[in-house]
Chains A and B, each alone.
Chain A
Amino acid sequence: GAVVSQHPSRVICKSGTSVKIECRSLDFQATTMFWYRQFPKKSLMLMATSNEGSKATYEQGVEKDKFLINHASLTLSTLTVTSAHPEDSSFYICSATANTGELFFGEGSRLTVL
């Protein structure tokens, strides 16, 4: 079946630095990718919709300048957490949608900001 790969699976960084998380569709072209954030013991909150070749669409309350999303190709979307702070520590998950509407999730990336 189709696979979505996220990298890194775990990252620890210092406060004030930026961290990039990659989401790749390995065997299909993803016209749309989604980024989610999951707080401890909570559900997944949709952060933004990433469309290849265009600007991401952010959900209400999500800071565009804090969470930079780039979808430069049909197989890669990146989420950059800029000037990270401890409150940005979370589990970030991406999903990718093919033209058929099939939805595939990455394994998630756990960010810890010290």
Chain B
Amino acid sequence: AQSVTQLDSHVSVSEGTPVLLRCNYSSSYSPSLFWYVQHPNKGLQLLLKYTSAATLVKGINGFEAEFKKSETSFHLTKPSAHMSDAAEYFCVVSDRTGGFKTIFGAGTRLFVKA
């Protein structure tokens, strides 16, 4: 069965500094991995996805993530945080277990200080 662990429940950064949100996964098959962002009382917005192509994935709003099979990680980064990045971020794993069942991480709340 697949699983995903987000290592930090909360991350706080200053505006203009780098962001690192950590995610580790386990999967019996070649997984697809996603990062989603959710602003308060809103739906989910896809930031980026990895589906067995390039291991360094670039997403929207300056975010990127690197798939590292040896470390079973898919950490999300951004060089310079903006106030509007403050939100909840979810790492998601999907593989063909159970018909591409998707499993969400617990989420990481990103705080951005002025």
Interface residues of A in 24-76 (CB under 8 A from B): 31-32, 34, 36, 42-46, 49, 51, 57
Interface assignment of B44: CB less than 8 Å from any CB of chain A: yes
B interface residue numbers (CB < 8 A to A): 32, 34, 36, 41-44, 46, 49, 51, 90, 92, 94, 96, 98-107
Taking A93-B44, A97-B102, A101-B96 as given, write out 7 further A-B residue pairs in contact, using a Cβ cutoff of 8 Å, ordered by the A residue number.
A34-B102, A42-B106, A43-B90, A43-B107, A97-B100, A107-B43, A108-B42
Known: A105-B44, A106-B43. A32 touches B100 (CB 8 A): yes
User: Do residues B105 and A49 form an inter-chain contact, with CB atoms below 8 A?
Assistant: no
User: Do residues A36 and B104 form an inter-chain contact, with CB atoms below 8 A?
Assistant: yes
Name the residue of chain A whose CB is nearest to the CB of B31.
A101
Instruction: Compute the total of residue contacts between A and B using a CB distance below 8 Å.
Output: 55
User: Do residues B102 and A101 form an inter-chain contact, with CB atoms below 8 A?
Assistant: no
A interface residue numbers (CB < 8 A to B): 31-32, 34, 36, 42-46, 49, 51, 57, 93, 95, 97, 101-103, 105-108, 110
Q: Closest CB of chain B to A66's CB: distance in Å?
A: 21
User: Do residues A42 and B44 form an inter-chain contact, with CB atoms below 8 A?
Assistant: no
Q: Can you show 13 pairs from A to B with CB atoms below 8 A apart?
A: A31-B99, A32-B99, A36-B104, A43-B104, A57-B98, A97-B100, A101-B51, A101-B96, A103-B92, A103-B94, A105-B46, A106-B43, A108-B44
Bound CA span A49–B94, Å: 13
Q: B102 contacts which of A46, A106, A110 (Cβ < 8 Å)?
A: A46
Bound CA span A34–B98, Å: 11
Q: Which residues of B contact A110 (CB under 8 A)?
A: 41
